[in-house]
């Protein structure tokens, strides 16, 4: 009798151990062995309301073991192209298996699709099908994309028509981080919506481009002119350039970094993302000269007058 009791107690202990092991949230198959699942979050929601906090609460309620990192929640409202640039810039620094939840969604509640995209790098992107993913896929390649249609991947209450960040994207990202099978989220999406981002044009006269953003809070102008294209114009560090910004001529020194000019002076430099940028050393160019994107910029070849462009 005592022996039977001991075997019964032992059986209960084994079952308890197995139940505990099975209840642990699995990591994504693509995640580094033993690491916690990571969700990287970006929106245009801002910080003046509770939207970001609600989305994070939804994620942690589903995947409590996940760590949530932020890109920014200050994307200029509705600016899909700006959000796509941030997503492209940040994603290379995260490993395979990372889940990105990106909500810049002016078409919320319309027929636009909510999707999960897996890149050939093995990262996942939970976002609206509005072109937000375009530059990432152009760089890393597309493995597959699926529409989020399975109700089990959404919030377990009525889905609103205006807050899919809370009701669809956050729960889908959390379920993915929790180890749910990506193939069960919904049908494959055969073709994604693409952005057509602005790009500079180089001619024998110079480069015409656009001011595509601000490096806030510093107010530096970010252009779509690649550093390598600019270097083909023949300028050397220390040269002064006559540049047109919104068709107004300004003179800017081409330097390596901010302190190469006196505090308060303007400068043109190649930024950390290999784009031509314009700044004021320890100042705010956009505010000082009342320049906001979108805008235009023209840089002539060295020695070529502006009027011949």
Pairing status of strand 99-103 against strand 124-128 = parallel
Alpha-carbon distance of 119 to 192, in angstroms, equals 13
Q: How far is CA 298 from the centre of its chain?
A: 28
Q: If pLDDT is split at 50, 70 and 90, which confidence band does 199 have? A: confident
Spatial contact of 266 and 280, defined as CB atoms under 8 Å apart: yes
Query: Residue 277 above 90 pLDDT?
Result: yes
Q: Architecture of 201-308 per CATH?
A: Beta Barrel (2.40)
**CATH class for the domain made up of 26-184:** alpha beta
- Residue range 231-240, pLDDT digits in tens: 999 999 999 9
pLDDT of residue 19: 45
Query: In the predicted model, what is the mean pLDDT of the chain?
Result: 89
Coil vs helix vs strand at 264: coil
Percentage of residues in the chain having pLDDT higher than 70: 88
Q: Which part of the chain is CATH 2.40.30.90?
A: 201-308
């Amino acid at each position: 009798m005592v022996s039977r009791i001991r075997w019964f107690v032992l059986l209960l202990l084994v079952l308890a151990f197995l139940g505990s092991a099975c209840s642990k949230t699995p990591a994504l198959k693509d995640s580094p062995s033993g690491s916690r699942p990571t969700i990287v979050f970006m929106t245009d929601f801002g910080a003046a309301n509770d939207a970001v906090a609600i989305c994070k609460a939804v994620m942690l309620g589903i995947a409590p073991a996940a760590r949530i990192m932020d890109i920014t929640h200050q994307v200029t409202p509705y600016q899909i192209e700006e959000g796509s640039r941030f997503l492209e810039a940040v994603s290379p620094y995260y490993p395979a298996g990372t889940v990105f939840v990106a909500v810049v969604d002016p078409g919320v509640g319309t027929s636009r699709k909510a999707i999960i995209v897996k890149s050939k790098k093995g990262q996942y992107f939970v976002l609206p099908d509005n072109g937000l993913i375009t530059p990432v896929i152009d760089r890393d390649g597309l493995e597959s994309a699926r529409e989020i249609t399975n109700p089990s991947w959404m919030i377990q209450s009525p889905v609103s028509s205006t807050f899919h960040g809370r009701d669809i994207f956050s729960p889908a990202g959390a379920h993915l981080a929790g180890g749910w099978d990506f193939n069960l989220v919904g049908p494959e999406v055969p073709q994604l919506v693409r952005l057509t981002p602005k790009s500079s044009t180089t001619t024998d006269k110079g480069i015409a481009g656009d001011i595509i953003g601000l490096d806030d809070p510093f107010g530096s102008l970010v252009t779509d002119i690649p550093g390598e294209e600019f270097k083909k114009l023949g300028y050397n560090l220390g040269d002064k350039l006559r540049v047109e910004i919104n068709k107004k001529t300004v003179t800017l020194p081409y330097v390596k970094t901010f302190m190469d000019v006196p505090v308060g002076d303007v400068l043109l430099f190649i930024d950390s993302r290999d784009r031509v940028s314009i700044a004021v050393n320890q100042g705010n160019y956009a505010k000082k000269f009342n320049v906001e994107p979108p805008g235009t910029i023209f840089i002539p070849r060295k020695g070529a007058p502006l009027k011949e462009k």
